[in-house]
Amino acid sequence: QVQLVESGGGLVQAGGSLKLSCVASGRTFSHYAMAWFRQLPGKERDFVGAINWTGGTTFYKDSVRGRFTISRDDAKNTVYLQMDSLKPEDTAVYFCASQSREFTYGTSWAEDYDYWGLGTQVTVSS
């Protein structure tokens, strides 16, 4: 079965950086778009960004564009989220997600994603 495992979260001061990783297993990673979402307690999951199956197209939530970068390494079955210039409002649990359909660009809607990791906590102190 498809499994997604996130890592790289932690505590960082405002203005700092973190790089999250998500390792996928269970199918041909290079065929699928990947996305990152984040969630606060009691809130819905909020789209952060996505990368299409080729890695040639990325798109982001407005508030993180220019600070966050998504990339993928198909040889390592891994998608990354580089987060720079972090702000306290970036504090959340971050999840990676993947669709069941192949060869797509991904979307910003959580309902379009079928597989999720367990998440990694990111805390940004002021």
User: Rg of the chain's alpha carbons, rounded to an integer?
Assistant: 13
Residues 51-76 have pLDDT tens digits of 999 999 999 999 999 999 999 999 99
**pLDDT tens digits for 99-123?**
999 999 999 999 999 999 999 999 9
Q: Centre a 10 Å sphere on the Cβ of residue 39 and count the other Cβ atoms it contains.
A: 15
Read off the pLDDT band of 47 (50, 70, 90).
very high
Q: What is the reported pLDDT for 38?
A: 98
The residue ranges of DSSP E strands in 8-110, in sequence order, are 10-13, 18-25, 34-39, 46-51, 58-60, 68-73, 78-83, 92-98
Q: Which of 60, 75, 70, 58 lies closest to 24 in space, CA to CA?
A: 75
Q: What is the mean pLDDT of the chain?
A: 96
Residues 6+ apart with CB under 8 A from 82: 17, 19, 68, 69, 70, 71
